[in-house]
Amino acid sequence: MMMNQLEQKTFKELKTIAHQLNAKPTGSLKQRQTWEAAIINQAQKMEPLRSTR
């Protein structure tokens, strides 16, 4: 998911996406950046799995 796509999501949507991806946020759970970073980090971990198929 691209950063600009995340910026368009509501805070609640970010949390939902993070939970669906099983992304573990670190830092303050009250900050948007924490959730965006967790989603991006999890997506980067998943990317190599997609390219090996």
Q: Is residue 42 part of a domain?
A: yes
Q: Is residue 52 part of a domain?
A: no
The confidence score (pLDDT) of residue 10 equals: 97
For residues 18 and 25, the answer to whether their CB atoms sit within 8 Å is yes
* pLDDT band (50, 70, 90) for residue 53: low
Q: Is residue 8 part of a domain?
A: yes
pTM of the complete model: 0.82
- Number of structural domains in the chain: 1
Residues 21, 15: Cα–Cα separation, whole Å: 10
* pLDDT band (50, 70, 90) for residue 2: confident
Q: Is residue 37 part of a domain?
A: yes
Q: Is residue 16 part of a domain?
A: yes
Q: Is residue 53 part of a domain?
A: no
For residues 41 and 23, the answer to whether their CB atoms sit within 8 Å is yes
Q: Is residue 18 part of a domain?
A: yes
- Per-residue model confidence as pLDDT tens digits over 4-45: 899 999 999 999 999 999 999 999 999 999 999 999 999 999
- Residue 41 sits in which domain range? 2-47
